[in-house]
Structure 1
Amino acid sequence: DIGSTANAKRLAKTLFYNLQTNSEDLVVENFYPYFSTQEEARTAFAIFDKDGNGDISKSEMKEKIFYVYKERKDLHTSLRDLSQAVGKLNVIFLTIVAVIWLFIILSIFGKDIVKNMLSIGSFLVALSFVFGNSLKILFENIVFLFITHPYDSGDLVSIEGTDMYVREVGLNSTTFVTWDGKRMYYPNNLISQKPIHNVRRSPNMTDKIVLNIDCYTPQSKIFELRARMRDYLIRESKDFLPDLEIQIQEMDAKLKISMCIEHKGNWQDSGRRWARRTAFNYALKEAVEEIGIQYYALPQRV
């Protein structure tokens, strides 16, 4: 059972060494003895072979097991939040049903329902001025959570440019946590009016790298830079798609160039995303200096 990060690490290590034979990395043949058919073994192997290069390293095995652990943990939290929300709705609907049954019982015992309904109706009209807006908000929250359903617990979302992890989903509000640990409490009726970018549900995502270089840089050096960075993406194919183009965005005293790198997967694991981007930037800096391209720091916002 993967109940903690320590257990996940231990399981990944156990699986890897139990499957390993002579080679340093695992190959599909290592999976054959444990499956009924070779097709099933190849399907299971592909789950762990993230870069599709035909072997599984220890880091790939560890990463996949950690991913499964996090997904299970987030799923458990989502089911808990959903159960709590449904429980609150159940109380509301049971109250409504109880009131309806009260009228039915009164009619069975020959009570004057019309007279009682007029009295209760007057009371409900008075209450509507007090709780009418609350009932409207409750209905909007139900539609937002159960029909629109833009996120689950554990999802990384971006709302008005702020990246946050969904920590807890309630019937009336949602708790978010920012990258620096701040807890944010948002009423659901306010969030429902804002655009929500759900990172976890997104496909492959792309980073844009911008660089200012000398305006007299020859085209041949820019092409060489593109070739060098494409080679880097090929070497790191487990994290990136091996495709890159360099575009000139502005031509002034400097050349402002940009390049887009497509990650394999989305940025749900934001720490891993920034680690990949940092490694790419170091490789870019090294390539620029070796080729002899003069570059400048981008202007900073004040």
Structure 2
Amino acid sequence: MAEMVGKTASTGQLSFRRLNREKDGEKEEVIDVDKLKKMKQDKVSAWTMRGLIHVIRSSGLSTISDSLENFKEDEGEQKDKEINSEWEAKAAAYRIFKNVAKPGSRYIDEEDLLRFMSKEEVENVLPLFEGAVETGKIKRKSLKNWLVKVYLERKSLVHSLNDTKTAVDELNKLASAMVLVIIFIVWLLLMGFLTTQVLVFISSQLLLAVFMFGNTAKTLFEAIIFVFVMHPFDVGDRCVIDGVQMIVEEMNILTTVFLRYDNEKIFYPNSVLAIKPISNFYRSPDMSDSVEFAIDVSTSMDTIAALKARIKAYLESRPQHWRAGHSVAFKSIENVNKMNMALYVTHTINFQNYGDKSSRRSELVLELKKIFHDLNITYHLLPQDVHLTYVGVGPPDADKEVMMATSFDADGEASLVEPRERER
């Protein structure tokens, strides 16, 4: 079905097609990109703006609704609909690729983008796609991944706005109830109905309400401060609370719903969250990572220098994954045979998308393993003494203890070294 989306060859214009059912024909409305760039925002006429809005709203890919043209083979009709799934986002990416790239091309190059954007805009767009900065080409997979990411972020934003609106509505109802009570008391004062007996009755009822709902009111006030003043996260943010990674699923006035890594929903009272340290991955800058390993202490300095050079070359070859400024640290030497080392790197992303972080780290660890193999860097355990005692009838010298130094290689296989005897 994705291959059915967008069959029009790429042109130098933004073309939006829609069917005219009354005339049983296809009507095409076109925006000339070159003329659009030359327009000045303060000199656009109302008629021109109305036409632009009409074309964009009726297009197959609206910037407002992210709509997608749905083709039907039998009826030959199409209609707009919201992108509400990852599959539809992938289909939209396929359609964009077919409309922008040259016919039969597997990439979108700078020449294709320059038909729609200026040189400065192209330079700003390329870093958004994986591997596009180095090659100057956007792969179909990179475009698909980017559009799916945008869809997921937009979905999280919509959920966050909906939950915020719900929380505001609940707070509005609470404030309205308090205002009604105050208005009722003021009305009693103005009408002269608030006599001493009535005032004593109201005061007693207020004291009773404070005694019964004082703790609830305190919890409610703390929750309101947490949600609207502190506001440490939004819906869709990946957070760490009590050492557990969770994604914010829903926010309310009194509680927040989290989704754990195994899709278990956890409800936290906001008054409890207000006194807990919360780590928010989404609001964090580019985050760091480390890989610890050990090499044999007999490894030469030339081999260590080659190791550092290979690591540097690998990281610099992937600037879309790793920031510049990594470090290789020598931490300690244990038992005069093992040297502990660590590689510290900085991702070009935070850990909101934990799958991307894990994938990049796995590739780095596999590359380290390849480098160790190429440079013949190994690690050996220390030789260990094994004492064997022969018990039984035998020659007079059989009652001796045989000491053998046994060494173990990296594969765990033992070898006998320097056998010797001593009297028991």
Q: TM-score over 0.5 for the alignment? A: yes
Q: Does the alignment pair 1:85 with 2:167?
A: yes
Q: Is the contact made by 2:291 and 2:342 (CA closer than 8 Å) also made in structure 1?
A: yes
Give the AA of the match of 1:71: E
**Which deviates more, 236-245 or 216-225?**
236-245
- Equivalent residue number for residue 230 of structure 2: 148
Whole-angstrom distance in 1 between the partners of 2:211 and 2:224: 21
Q: Does the alignment pair 1:166 with 2:166?
A: no
Of residues 323, 347, 372, the one that matches 1:263 is 347
Q: Shift in Å at residue 109 of structure 1?
A: 3.3
Q: Shift in Å at residue 38 of structure 1?
A: 4.2
Of residues 229, 241, 252, the one that matches 2:323 is 241
Q: Shift in Å at residue 295 of structure 1?
A: 4.1
Whole-angstrom distance in 2 between the partners of 1:199 and 1:16: 32
Q: CA-to-partner distance for each residue in 1:12-32, whole Å, 9 max, x for gaps?
A: 122122211276432333122
Of residues 215, 219, 243, the one that matches 2:301 is 219
**Which deviates more, 48-57 or 62-71?**
48-57
Q: 1:248 to 1:46 in 2, by over 3 A?
A: closer
Give the AA of the match of 1:146: F
Q: Is the contact made by 2:329 and 2:343 (CA closer than 8 Å) also made in structure 1?
A: yes
Q: 1:295 to 1:115 in 2, by over 3 A?
A: farther
Of residues 133, 154, 165, the one that matches 1:52 is 133
1:260 counterpart SS class: strand
**Which deviates more, 182-191 or 25-34?**
25-34
Q: Is the contact made by 1:103 and 1:113 (CA closer than 8 Å) also made in structure 2?
A: no
Give the AA of the match of 1:259: L
Q: Is the contact made by 2:126 and 2:133 (CA closer than 8 Å) also made in structure 1?
A: no
The unaligned stretches of length 5 or more in structure 1 are 298-302
Q: Which has the higher contact order (CA 8 A, sep 6+)?
A: 1
1:239 counterpart SS class: coil
1:25-104 paired onto structure 2 within 5 Å: 25-35=107-117, 37-48=118-129, 52-53=133-134, 54-104=136-186
Aligned residues: 296
Q: Shift in Å at residue 122 of structure 1?
A: 1.4
- Equivalent residue number for residue 363 of structure 2: 279
Whole-angstrom distance in 1 between the partners of 2:257 and 2:101: 44
1:124-143 paired onto structure 2 within 5 Å: 124-143=206-225
Whole-angstrom distance in 2 between the partners of 1:178 and 1:242: 33
Q: Shift in Å at residue 41 of structure 1?
A: 4.6
Give the AA of the match of 2:92: L
Q: Is the contact made by 1:51 and 1:239 (CA closer than 8 Å) also made in structure 2?
A: no
Q: TM-score, normalised by structure 2?
A: 0.66
Q: Is the contact made by 1:211 and 1:295 (CA closer than 8 Å) also made in structure 2?
A: no
1:56 counterpart SS class: strand
**Which deviates more, 93-102 or 112-121?**
112-121
Q: Is the contact made by 1:153 and 1:169 (CA closer than 8 Å) also made in structure 2?
A: yes
- Equivalent residue number for residue 4 of structure 1: 85
Larger radius of gyration: 2
Q: 1:287 to 1:47 in 2, by over 3 A?
A: closer
Q: Is the contact made by 1:48 and 1:56 (CA closer than 8 Å) also made in structure 2?
A: yes
The unaligned stretches of length 5 or more in structure 2 are 1-66, 68-82, 382-424
- Equivalent residue number for residue 123 of structure 1: 205
1:118 counterpart SS class: helix
Q: CA-to-partner distance for each residue in 1:31-64, whole Å, 9 max, x for gaps?
A: 22224x4444544445446763333222321221
Q: Is the contact made by 2:126 and 2:132 (CA closer than 8 Å) also made in structure 1?
A: no
Q: Is the contact made by 2:285 and 2:350 (CA closer than 8 Å) also made in structure 1?
A: yes
